A and B are shown apart, each in its own frame.
Chain A
């Protein structure tokens, strides 16, 4: 068992290193920017992983929080309010601010259960989109907000796509480690119990409602972080990114990769962002194939690619003949008890 776990850890580590080494060697300009975007999107997808994968709550709100984060940076850093704050400070404050907003919203919205909650998050996305598009003083209206400065730390400014690549990888890695860690804390297990059996959760001392609220706040933090990075990398924010259709995109990314698997979510985000660029030549058939692929993936691997991966790992383990490590001592009844 240990061996399998270490094997998959090794596999993940190796593929990450390979990714970091190879990508800057072969990609530049536009294609590197797309890869950077996919890494930023992966942060939102991890927020969905926390909500849906760990907590079983289907939420579209990640996109709205991404909007908050992006417009937060746009307003405070571009100088359109008449003053600016340092970009690094904004990168920290935006998630913090949105985390608080998400927490308060969560207190209200998570009084709702299941499908009701999902509907509420759709409504939230719609309301936010409507304001982003129409309210010029804060969101610049349909033209968006431009001239957002890139992130600078001290005297160093992240200006090239190359620099942004390493920055995005770094932040994403940090987020991924935090999320993976949370999965293994008492909070992660509380969420799992909320997802699988809320009655059992209650009798095991889990405050179901507050667990969901906290997860929602966390997804708000991650959404805003991604939004802030998006605004700084592209130096521009416009409302069309925050339309409802794009919210489904992030959920698809999470589900395709494997919603309850940190690495799977990242792979899902990267693939779904990059593949359309690779298959540009399909032109008008591109979206069709994308949609078909989503359906086929759900039919044949509802647990996403990570689900297939773990099944594959189990098979390998069988082939290698690694026996189960028994934990407890045999007792008198141990054999022949099971039906």
Chain B
């Protein structure tokens, strides 16, 4: 398994706040890499740096051997960096079909003229059915996106991202706000992405069950700094991590 993404000495400041402090680690294809840390540790900021919403002050983001630090977010998406958000972001005024098509638009990169003159493509139907079976609920493509529950929307956002055939996805707290059955389904979807599709997954999650279950490798950050990397076993026995994070979590 090769590195799909590498961060090298990434620094980012917001005013006086050092939200990313010399971050260096890599994400491999075909496995789930967990990114954990207490609230405010700089996890989501890091995702924003990888997807290009923020530009780091110094350091490099290397995707597939190429420095993408100065590349705009939409080009990064086209290069294959997919993304889901803590609160799902859909086109609220479009139906589910269009919301999913925008994902497959990205993978097909059809030119405007081609998509203007050809019939609406639903080539992803088979693929969609495969994912929806795992996601565990039915959708009516003509319905408004708002007809889905919050949990369903979060699952569908992962599906949308997979439909764009990314080479890596960034998944931001997929379990937050989901019930147990839905969490199972989210995990299954993420596993499909890593195992069957063989892409890289960076997963932010507070649910330790989920992290310990599906991550091959875990990166722990606190105050914008990497404090540990390793397998779940190594992390759960790491003193520094326990005091910084797990210990606090266990007290709750």
Contact = CB atoms under 8 A, between A and B. Distances in A.
| A and B, direct touch (CB closer than 8 Å) | yes
B132 A337 contact: no
Interface residues of B, number: 53
Contact of B129 (A197, A260, A329, A336): A329
B120 A333 contact: no
Contact of B77 (A189, A203, A339): A203
Nearest to A181: B116
Interface in A193-209: 193, 195-197, 199-208
Contacts of B112: 185-187
Contacts of A181: 116
Contact of A334 (B90, B136, B143): B136
A333 B141 contact: no
A5 B143 CA distance: 12
Contacts of A199: 53, 85, 89
A189 B181 CA distance: 32
A197 B138 contact: no
B106 A205 contact: yes
Contact of B74 (A5, A182, A185, A208): A208
Interface stretch (B35-43, B95-103, B217-225): B95-103
A327 B89 contact: no
Nearest to B79: A205
Interface stretch (B17-25, B61-69, B145-153, B237-245): B145-153
A205 B179 contact: no
A239 interface: no
A339 B149 contact: yes
B139 A204 contact: no
Contact of A202 (B77, B129, B152): B77
A190 B78 CA distance: 13
A332 B136 contact: yes
Interface of B: 51-53, 72-75, 77-78, 81-83, 85, 89-94, 98, 101-103, 105-106, 110, 112, 115-116, 120, 128-129, 132-134, 136-143, 149-152, 164, 179, 181-182, 184-185
Interface of A: 1, 4-5, 181-182, 184-187, 189-190, 192-193, 195-197, 199-208, 260, 324-334, 336-339
14 contacts: A4-B142, A190-B102, A192-B93, A192-B98, A202-B52, A205-B164, A206-B74, A206-B102, A328-B132, A328-B133, A329-B129, A334-B138, A338-B137, A338-B151
